[in-house]
Structures are given as structure tokens and as C-alpha cells.
Amino acid sequence: LTEVGGERYFFCNEQNEKGEPVTWQGRQYQPYPIQGSGFELNGKGTSTRPTLTVSNLYGMVTGMADDLQSLVGGTVVRRKVYARFLDAVNFVNGNSDADPEQEVISRWRIEQCSELSAVSASFVLSTPTETDGAVFPGRIMLANTCTWTYRGDECGYSGPAVADEYDQPTSDITKDKCSKCLSGCKFRNNVGNFGGFLSINKLSQ
């Protein structure tokens, strides 16, 4: 919700098998009653309008809605991950199948707060291009270069120093820079947030 003056929240609708918050790509997602519907992609007709419903436990959402204009304009990032690929820390006996690259990401904007009660709140979502009047593509599409700001919201990496801009390992935070290549993301187990368009190379073949 940083776009509307709020903070970033990381939620998952269940705990891991240890009864703890789910950890994905080294980041914890707090268990919180949340349900989404209507996320199916549709190539014909009007664009999808998913609905996100969350618990209003202790009036938390009411407070944010009052302070942040019903959260309209905030970004929702949905990550779909099979449980078998989650970080090893989620499992009592570890997880040899853990793979931080196995996720599907979709980004949405909050268009409307459709319901707000003492029990729950529902929000109608839309694609970012619809809410800001943008046309596709909204930015230059580069196959092998990431355009995100390192450690910014889109990048999402917040871990320790790993490598410099030439992908040379370093533990010095003052030298820690991203190469803006896929290799830089691999060093940081952050491939899912790579800001390039790898499939473009295949279009010309």
C-alpha cells in the first residue's frame, strides 16, 4: 500500500506444517484470513475483475481504509506457489525440493472497496494498465536487462550484500549492487522478480 501512503504487508491464508508463518524466498508471510476469487485469465471480452476479501479483525482494515482513501490505488501482488517448492524452513524435516523460482506472479490495483463491515472487507481489483490509462507495453521491453530499482518495491530483495554490479561476490553493503541481469537475481534467489522479458528473445526465432 505504499502507493497510497501505507506500508507493505505480506499475508498467506494458512500456516506451514510447523504452525508458523509461511516463508517464501526468505520472506515471512503472516497467516491471515484472506480469500480471492475471479482471478481466471480471460482473453476475450472485458478484463477480469477479481475480488479480494480479508478479515477485518480488530477493525484493522477499517482503520487503514479511513486513513488511506479506502485503499484505492494500492497494489496487490499475488504469488501462486505449490507447497512442495516452499523454503526448507517451512518443514520439520526440511525440503529437498525447495525452489525459489517456482512461482506465478500477477499484479493488480485496488479499484474499489465494495464492502466493509465489522467482520470483513472486500475489494474489487483491476489490472494496472486499466487504472492509470496506460497502453501496452507500458515500458521498454528488454529481454536480458532488469529495469527495476535494486531493493525497490518491484525488486523486492531485502537481504544481505551478495555481489557487485559485475556479479562478483561481496559482503560489503557499500559495494552491493545488482548487475541488472538474470544472473544477479539468481545470486539472490530472487528470479521471480526479474524485471526483464526473457520470452522476447524467442519471438524473433
Please check whether residue 53 is in contact with residue 31, taking contact to mean a CB–CB distance below 8 angstroms: no
Between the CA atoms of 105, 74, 128 and 200, what dihedral angle is there, to the nearest 10 degrees? Answer: -40
Same domain as 144, residue 124: no
Residues in the chain predicted with pLDDT less than 50, given as ranges, are 203-205
Same domain as 92, residue 151: no
**Segments forming the whole domain that contains residue 188:** 139-205
Does the N-terminal peptide bond of residue 137 adopt cis geometry, omega within 30 degrees of 0? yes
Same domain as 162, residue 97: no
Same domain as 193, residue 106: no
- pTM given for the model: 0.60
End-of-domain residue from the set 107, 131, 155: 131
Same domain as 153, residue 81: no
pLDDT of 59 reads 84
pLDDT of 203 reads 47
Same domain as 82, residue 19: yes
Same domain as 120, residue 38: yes
Q: How many domains does the chain have?
A: 2
End-of-domain residue from the set 80, 114, 131: 131
End-of-domain residue from the set 131, 149, 175: 131
Same domain as 189, residue 114: no
